[in-house]
Amino acid sequence: MLADDLMIYLKTTDTCQLNCDHCFTNGKNGKKGWFDTVKVIDFFNRLHDYKSEFPKGGNISFHGGEPMLAPPEKMFEVWNGVKHLWPNIWWSVQTNLTYPLIPKKVAVFEEICNKNWGTSWDKGIRWPDINQELLWEHNVKEMTQAGHEITVMISISKAITEMEPIEILDKMAALGIEHVNFERLTHNGNANLNPHLFATNKELDAWFVKMWDQSAEYKTYEYIDNNFFDSILTSLVYRTHSGCRCRGCEQKIFTLNADGTIGGCPNAAVENTYGTLDDDIETLINSPGRACSIQDEIIRHPLCYTCPVFDICNGDCHQLSWQGSTCAAPKSLMIRLKEEENIPLYKKFLGDFMGQE
Ligand code: SF4
Ligand code: SF4
Ligand code: SF4
């Protein structure tokens, strides 16, 4: 079973120069070494023989560890060997951007990513000293001023829920950022060793309401796009389930670890692999491990089926943990938005976005 869209997390390495407390790929303790470019190109060509078109497009994202630790020549080698296979699939990078911006690395952002890529920001768990955070800010500013459209991922740790949401949104906008996304922590890698990082689901729920109220009050949709809201609002306005609400990640995502093993959702792809780059595609697609992950994702928590916002939420990401009968979804916010049904306001937040990935 393969979806009509494809999402590949292509890890150039399994390790990183940073060691964030919440890292689901084990930070600097991840396996050392680069991806095998010859095997990766061969894998994509065989996947193309198996499915020559993904009608809904998709994305190939260089990932890690820190993907930009790898020699850029290797990234160009893979891009040049693969980009012609599915012309409707776009390429990107998710990087920590905490390194000097040498021209060879900038060329990856410009040529492979077409100036559209992602980085991350966190509160107190990413950079060991202020100079590294300042380097990141400097790099972000330099790239946005050069016309790059950057999406910043922010992990919602407990420390984030103790901040005012508007403070974060305005900080990102001041750096020239056009898109932010907020992701909830999952129990993988380093995060498992640091339970104090996790906000409770109740705290998350309250913080999402606060973020909405402040965003509506300050009209943040006029200066920054919040992808976290997009995935809720598309359900309300267009009746689609996008992003973390698609509940189809395991059918469309392959994470190619740098050591050649393959898993689905990137958060679990270090410890939960079901194949390798050497497998023939038919074997990989039909592997029992992949089938189990797909099934886990299709079956919702029993309480979802009686939830008043199941039509909007769709059960949310299947990697998130419940606490008793409390899910990790922005449930209070969804209930309110459904009741208020302020479609003109929701459309302002969405802009042109209608739910396609
Ligand atoms: S979260 Fe990203 S930047 Fe932080 S240690 Fe993990 S791979 Fe590196
Ligand atoms: S299953 Fe959840 S964590 Fe994994 S890619 Fe999908 S939304 Fe993200
Ligand atoms: S809000 Fe919670 S209970 Fe309702 S559908 Fe979403 S995950 Fe399930």
Mean pLDDT of successive 10-residue segments in the chain (357 residues)?
Answer: 95 95 87 96 98 97 96 98 98 98 98 98 93 97 98 96 98 97 90 90 98 98 97 95 93 97 95 97 97 97 98 96 97 98 97 78
Q: Is the CB of 255 under 6 A from ligand 1?
A: no
Q: Which CATH superfamily is domain 6-199+248-299 in?
A: Aldolase class I (3.20.20.70)
| Single-letter residue type at 58 | G
Do 185 and 191 meet the contact criterion of CB atoms below 8 Å apart?
yes
Amino acid 34: pLDDT: 97
Do 89 and 57 meet the contact criterion of CB atoms below 8 Å apart?
yes
Residue 229 burial (10 A CB sphere; 0-12, 13-18, 19+)? buried
Ligand 3, atom 8: closest residue by C-alpha: 304
Q: Is the CB of 261 under 6 A from ligand 1?
A: no
Amino acid 188: pLDDT: 85
Residue 130 burial (10 A CB sphere; 0-12, 13-18, 19+)? exposed
Bridge-based pairing state of the strands 89-95 and 273-276: unpaired
Q: How far apart are CA 21 and CA 125, in angstroms?
A: 6
Amino acid 356: pLDDT: 60
- Residue 110 phi, psi dihedral angles, 5° rounding: -80, -50
Ligand 2, atom 5: closest residue by C-alpha: 265
The predicted model scores a pTM of 0.96
Residue 334 in tokens: 């969804």
Ligand 3 center to 244 CA (angstroms): 12
Total Cβ atoms within 10 A of residue 22: 23
Do 257 and 13 meet the contact criterion of CB atoms below 8 Å apart?
no
Total Cβ atoms within 10 A of residue 278: 12
Ligand 1 center to 94 CA (angstroms): 10
Amino acid 145: pLDDT: 98
Q: Is the CB of 122 under 6 A from ligand 1?
A: no
**Residue 282: its H or E element:** helix 281-285
Query: Which residues, 6 or more positions from 90, have their beta carbon under 8 angstroms from its beta carbon?
Result: 57, 58, 59, 60, 114, 116
Amino acid 155: pLDDT: 95
Ligand 3 pocket by C-beta < 6 Å: which residues?
301, 303-304, 307, 309-310, 313, 315-316, 327, 329, 331
* Integer Rg of the chain from CA: 20
Do 117 and 140 meet the contact criterion of CB atoms below 8 Å apart?
no
**Where in the chain are the domains?**
6-199+248-299
